[in-house]
Amino acid sequence: MMYETLHDCEARIAAMYPIHAMGDIDSPPDWLEEFLDGCGPKDLAAIVAACPELLSVAEPNDFDRTSDMASAFAEQWTLHSRSGYIVRAEICVRRYMGKTSSFYSGWGIVQLYWIYVESADEAVARVTEIANQQHQTSEAKAGEA
């Protein structure tokens, strides 16, 4: 089943950060470090693919501190006049019951995603798409069991 709203697919936009409003690259906002600390390799790879200017600074092992990597990201985005948003999305993890479409879930167990979108309007559609994919995968795995 494909859901059309964040409510129906048990997803939410927990935060949306404007890249184009970071200000001083030598003192980037706290959210940039939070993003880098919490972003998994798959999400980071997708963001780097969308923002290729980050390719030269996207290896966490190249930095002693997250704050140094945050400054490097801020610098690259500023030098390349990047606009858009980094979105932190939370999607409820559904536990499907066998080969049925019945499930249980709740906001106590969520999957966290970090994504890049070019416009605020794009964020809801993109998070809904990711939630639908997550739920379809969970339901298919339960059906195989």
Q: What tens digit of pLDDT does each residue of 43-62 get?
A: 999 999 999 999 999 998 89
| DSSP H helices in the chain | 30-38, 41-50, 66-79, 120-144
In the chain, % of residues over pLDDT 90: 77
Please name the residues in contact with 2: beta carbons below 8 A apart, sequence gap of 6 or more: 132
| 3-state SS, residue 80 | coil
107 close to 93: Cβ distance less than 8 angstroms: no
0.85 surpassed by pTM: yes
